[in-house]
């Protein structure tokens, strides 16, 4: 097993862990939307999974230390999507009534 194959394995393995975590957050958001009558946009959590997946696929095809601007854009867009969705959900779940 060479260095590039190991790099590909770890990049894709990390993405599957991230996707499972985001799916769990989407289920929490869906549950909260259903019972609290508040729009959580839980379907957009899938966008974060797709954007991070695109970044992981591009990074897996490169050498471990090679930079990729497009992969970084996908990563930034997915991270920003997760940040905004998680902030919105957390803000409405933890606010005082």
* Residue ranges covered by each domain of the chain: 3-94
Is the overall model pTM greater than 0.95, yes or no?
no
pLDDT at 9 over 70: yes
Question: If you count them, how many residues does the chain have?
Answer: 97
Tens of pLDDT, residues 37-82: 889 999 999 999 999 999 999 988 887 778 889 999 999 999 999 9
Query: What interhelical angle do 45-60 and 69-94 show, nearest 10?
Result: 150
Sequence-ordered alpha helix ranges (H) in 1-97: 3-36, 45-60, 69-94
């Amino acid at each position: 097993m060479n260095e590039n194959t190991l790099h590909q394995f770890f990049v894709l393995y990390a993405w599957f862990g991230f996707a499972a975590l985001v799916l769990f957050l989407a289920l929490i958001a869906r549950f909260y939307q259903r019972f609290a009558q508040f729009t959580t946009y839980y379907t957009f959590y899938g966008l974060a999974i797709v954007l991070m997946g695109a970044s992981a696929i591009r990074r897996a095809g490169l050498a471990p230390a090679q930079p990729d601007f497009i992969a970084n854009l996908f990563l930034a867009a997915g991270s920003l999507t997760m940040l905004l969705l998680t902030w919105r959900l957390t803000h409405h779940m933890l606010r005082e009534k």
